[in-house]
Structure 1
Amino acid sequence: MTRAPATRELRAEPVGSLSVWQGAALYVGAVLGTGVIALPALACRAAGPASLLAWLGLVLLSVPLAATFAALGARYPDGGGVSTYVRHAFGARAAAVVGWCFYFAVPAGAPAAGTFAGAYVATALGGGRRTVLGTAAVLLILVAVANGFGLRVSGRAQLALAVLLVTLLLTAVVTALPHARLRNLHPFAPHGWSAIGSAAMLLVWSFAGWEAITHLAADFRRPARDLPRATAMAVTVVGVLYLAVAATGVLVLGPADGTSDAPLAELLALGVGGTVHVPAAAAALLLTLGTMNAYFAGAARLGAALGRDGALPAWLDRGGGVGEVPRRSLAVVTGLSGLALAATAVTGVGPQPLVLLTTGSFVTVYALGTAAALRLLPRGGLPHRCAFLALVAVAALLVMTGWYLLWPLVITASALGYLRRRQRRDPGRGVITS
């Protein structure tokens, strides 16, 4: 049953452990992540140099989108994240759908992220596909163990990773820029202007993450103050680095940017010189660890919240309180990611379909999350205006998603089916609606 927007805000006491800097590092890791090591090449193949317009458009979209989720997280700091906001705006069933879309998108996307890094490792060490899959498996284990020790350990590690990866990316850009050539921008749109939309859908993967840290909002020391600050820092860092790496790749590598599976390694080779496969592989591993770390932390916290609210089995709720570690939910995310990686190994599916399936789920989450923001945030304020702009842009992304929207539709049907069976089995339990 749809509810009116709640007027009471869920304000947690400042007992969390995350600082502004750690939160910004988690954001940078969640958003910057694997997109910068693989997707410049995929986007260039799709649209040529015109893919830079897709990068620019998504950077601009990030500003209102990140501001919207930061405002929601500051007002409603809860492990459910977007699911909590949608529950207050549209009711428990819509919240369950959003929660399922995010929770089950992470295991689908993890194998793709791991194989992106694995390709760099295989280039450096050899071993082909076996190395790629082995690297992905090791990354899953490392991230699960790190999060198993809790956010204090994980947050500090993320801050160190963020500093290292930003340094590596700046080194690649600054040293390669002297090799830039304007002639590499021609032809600008070899596949037509419509190809920019195809490139944008691939690049949504690169910008997914502005919603991920909202699941950790209650773990900030002072969510209302710290979360918006961390968001502003992360938007600036991510936007500058993405545009710098993408533009440098096109201007320096030209058509080769669309044929190389390791554009970051190519930039380092030109700028620094010598054999750079090993440092490039190290950079890829750092970026992937940052992304997977942030998403596993957010998904584990979300699973516990969904168990608490009755949208998933109640035994997942254990460890979901502020300062606790939701190890059961983390184990589920890790197990499903392992199964997805095994399926990838058996079927030989490449990363691009997995990327598009995952981004289809995230765009669905964004659509419902920004719509909820329009009901929950104070009208006339800057956050409310940002929510409107973000919703319009996300609606355009939904249109471009095409057939890959079938995956979130399947998840939606599964979530509603689970709730229906649960209500029949235990009519008095249901899902929490307040």
Structure 2
Amino acid sequence: MERPEGDARVSATGLFRRKPIDTIEAPEEGGLRRTLGLWQLTAIGIGGIIGAGIFSLAGAVAHETAGPAVVLSFLVAGVASAAAAFSYAEFAGLIPRAGSAYTYGYAVLGEIVGWFIGWDLLLEYTAIVAVVAIGISGYFNDLLGFLDISLPSWMLGAPGTEPEGVAAGTYKVNLFAVLLCLLIAYVLNRGMRSAARFETSLVYLKVGVVVLVIAVGAFHIDAGNFTPFAPFGIAGVFTGAATVFFAVFGYDAMSTAAEESRESQKHMPRAIIYSLAISMVLYVLACLVLTGMVDYRDIDPNAAFSAAFESVGLSALGAVIAAGAILGILTVLFTFLMGATRVGYSMSRDGLLPAWLGKTSAARQVPARITWILGAAAAVIAGLLPIGEAAELTNIGILLAFVVVCTAVIVLRYRRPDLPRSFRCPWMPVVPIVGVVFSIWLITFLKPETWLRFAIWFVLGMIVYFAYSRRHSLLNRASEP
């Protein structure tokens, strides 16, 4: 007879014991406070999706890889990301708990799968925060130079990142990036209600800047710039899609806030779909404007939109866009640091990490300890590593999370068709299979250095799991006589 899903008994090894879905919604004292509504969740998702992708990556891909067909690159990446988004949406409506892919993997595929996804996401999300902080720091340093403001050289960058003409060893730390990471940790620890207001305000500003770009730039489009449309061929379109794919997720980190959402089973699936849909519309329109304003060969890959408006005599607007980009990209820091802390909180609550890490503050009901720890970790990475080395810590864990979530949604649909689902992934199992295939395909594009760092983190995770987590797991304790 098939064992019921809610049974907490484990196999001989216990590696694939599953969190019982039937009891996963049980309220717990000292948990997170439900304060987020639909549009706050959507804003957090947009905040994680729209960032450097639209302000710099779109220009770089158009210039170097796809030409005007960069718009197709974003559409291909968006379709692939949507396949994963539908899977996330089904789980978000079914399991309204913090942790996202970690929780879903734990509940469907077993503890060892959940552990490694959670372990990977801790590193990936924290590294993304560091990478974005370094990027914003670069914009900030350029802005200071424009204002003719000089700061001590030791605080301008990580060791070894000195530009040509600056003596090696001059830079000691990227202090502004460090302070940004700590600022976001502080904002998150003020409580989710006030933190969400901060995030939502910046998202409105960012979307306003993008809409301004589209509205004004549309009057400066030269149709001749769209020819040739795909100068690098279909291969360039798909290579561009692989590159920009990392600019069209963010809803995965937002979904970690399910436990802080009001009416989570109703709002979270909608917020995932809305945030991706709104972001994709803005991406497509902005790409059409950019490649219509400037010949793709003349696009500035570092500051595409600012340079484009300067080229048509609107330098002042270009400066406004640059300033708005700096503030808008802050929302990416918020979304991914929040995601990292909620994954860590869930893992500690399940006994896979020490319980004191996930303890929530009595006044604000946020996991303050894990927030400061991960904020400090991001600050160290941002302060001491070049952006290229920090970026190599990202991507693979998130792609593996997509594979796990898309696989798990298929498994659970056939294992437990009776469970009440407020949202159902369409065209099952084709859509999640597309998500799995595309994610695995993208993994093959990753550099050997990324695989090496992942292997090191994986081995460290195995040590931690077998030395501590397996024995302290709440499911393990529940199975003991």
Q: Distance in 2 between matches of 1:85 and 1:321?
A: 28
**Which residue matches 1:105?**
124
- The answer to whether residue 394 in structure 2 is matched with residue 363 in structure 1 is no
Q: Using the TM superposition, name which of 385-394 and 157-166 deviates more.
A: 385-394
Contact preservation (8 Å) 2:121, 2:340: yes
What is the CA-CA distance between 1:275 and the residue it aligns to? Answer: 2.7
Q: What is the identity, as a one-letter code, of the residue corresponding to 1:64?
A: A
What is the CA-CA distance between 1:339 and the residue it aligns to? Answer: 1.7
What is the CA-CA distance between 1:15 and the residue it aligns to? Answer: 5.9
Q: What is the identity, as a one-letter code, of the residue corresponding to 1:100?
A: W
**Which residue matches 2:440?**
398
Structure 2 counterpart of 1:74, from 86, 93, 98: 93
Q: What is the identity, as a one-letter code, of the residue corresponding to 2:434?
A: V
**Which residue matches 1:261?**
302
What is the CA-CA distance between 1:355 and the residue it aligns to? Answer: 4.2
Q: Distance in 2 between matches of 1:322 and 1:27?
A: 26
Q: Distance in 2 between matches of 1:415 and 1:321?
A: 31
Structure 1 counterpart of 2:290, from 249, 254, 258: 249
**Which residue matches 1:35?**
53
Q: What is the identity, as a one-letter code, of the residue corresponding to 1:421?
A: A
**Which residue matches 2:322?**
281
Q: Deviations along 1:341-379, whole A, 9 cap, x unmatched? A: 1332xxxx444x654641222111111111111122465
- The answer to whether residue 206 in structure 2 is matched with residue 165 in structure 1 is yes
What is the CA-CA distance between 1:23 and the residue it aligns to? Answer: 0.9
Contact preservation (8 Å) 2:225, 2:291: yes
Contact preservation (8 Å) 1:77, 1:218: yes
Contact preservation (8 Å) 2:299, 2:308: no
Structure 2 counterpart of 1:11, from 22, 25, 41: 25
Q: Using the TM superposition, name which of 73-82 and 107-116 deviates more.
A: 107-116
- The answer to whether residue 266 in structure 2 is matched with residue 225 in structure 1 is yes
Q: Distance in 2 between matches of 1:414 and 1:368?
A: 20
Structure 2 counterpart of 1:326, from 352, 360, 367: 367
What is the CA-CA distance between 1:152 and the residue it aligns to? Answer: 0.5
Structure 1 counterpart of 2:457, from 393, 411, 431: 411
- The answer to whether residue 340 in structure 2 is matched with residue 299 in structure 1 is yes
TM-score, structure 1 normalization: 0.88
Q: Distance in 1 between matches of 2:366 and 2:93?
A: 21
Tell me: CA distance 1:396–1:428, structure 2 relative to 1, closer, same or farther (3 Å). closer
Q: Distance in 1 between matches of 2:93 and 2:58?
A: 33
**Which residue matches 2:472?**
429
Q: Distance in 2 between matches of 1:432 and 1:321?
A: 26
Q: Deviations along 1:282-304, whole A, 9 cap, x unmatched? A: 21222221111111112111111
Tell me: CA distance 1:89–1:174, structure 2 relative to 1, closer, same or farther (3 Å). same
In percent, how many aligned pairs have the same letter?
Answer: 20
What is the CA-CA distance between 1:212 and the residue it aligns to? Answer: 0.8
Q: Distance in 1 between matches of 2:379 and 2:204?
A: 29
Tell me: CA distance 1:430–1:141, structure 2 relative to 1, closer, same or farther (3 Å). closer
Secondary structure of the corresponding residue to residue 106 of structure 2: helix
Contact preservation (8 Å) 2:123, 2:393: no
**Which residue matches 2:4?**
none
Contact preservation (8 Å) 1:219, 1:323: no
What is the CA-CA distance between 1:57 and the residue it aligns to? Answer: 0.9
TM-score, structure 2 normalization: 0.80
Q: Give ranges in structure 2 of 5+ residues lacking alignment.
A: 1-14, 158-173
Contact preservation (8 Å) 1:197, 1:400: no
**Which residue matches 2:41?**
23
Tell me: CA distance 1:400–1:149, structure 2 relative to 1, closer, same or farther (3 Å). same
What is the CA-CA distance between 1:430 and the residue it aligns to? Answer: 4.0
**Which residue matches 2:169?**
none
Q: Give ranges in structure 1 of 5+ residues lacking alignment.
A: none
Structure 2 counterpart of 1:389, from 431, 435, 439: 431
Q: Distance in 1 between matches of 2:128 and 2:471?
A: 36
What is the CA-CA distance between 1:29 and the residue it aligns to? Answer: 0.4
What is the CA-CA distance between 1:277 and the residue it aligns to? Answer: 5.3
Tell me: CA distance 1:275–1:124, structure 2 relative to 1, closer, same or farther (3 Å). farther
Q: Distance in 2 between matches of 1:370 and 1:393?
A: 6
Is the radius of gyration larger for structure 1 or structure 2? Answer: 2
Structural mapping, 1:158-237, within 5 Å: 158-237=199-278
Structure 1 counterpart of 2:66, from 47, 59, 64: 47
Q: Using the TM superposition, name which of 5-14 and 322-331 deviates more.
A: 5-14
Tell me: CA distance 1:428–1:122, structure 2 relative to 1, closer, same or farther (3 Å). closer
Tell me: CA distance 1:289–1:53, structure 2 relative to 1, closer, same or farther (3 Å). same
Structural mapping, 1:46-65, within 5 Å: 46-65=65-84
Structure richer in helix, relative to its length? 1
TM-align CA RMSD? 3.0
What is the CA-CA distance between 1:134 and the residue it aligns to? Answer: 4.3
Q: What is the identity, as a one-letter code, of the residue corresponding to 2:296?
A: P
Q: Using the TM superposition, name which of 255-264 and 171-180 deviates more.
A: 255-264
Q: Deviations along 1:171-224, whole A, 9 cap, x unmatched? A: 011101222223323344444433333322321221121211221101111101
Q: Using the TM superposition, name which of 19-28 and 69-78 deviates more.
A: 69-78
Q: Distance in 2 between matches of 1:256 and 1:120?
A: 23
- The answer to whether residue 411 in structure 2 is matched with residue 375 in structure 1 is yes
**Which residue matches 2:351?**
310
Q: What is the identity, as a one-letter code, of the residue corresponding to 2:99?
A: G
Structure 2 counterpart of 1:2, from 16, 22, 25: 16
What is the CA-CA distance between 1:24 and the residue it aligns to? Answer: 1.0
Q: Deviations along 1:8-45, whole A, 9 cap, x unmatched? A: 16336796111111111111101112221121123222
Contact preservation (8 Å) 1:201, 1:401: no
Q: What is the identity, as a one-letter code, of the residue corresponding to 1:2?
A: F
**Count of residue correspondences:** 426
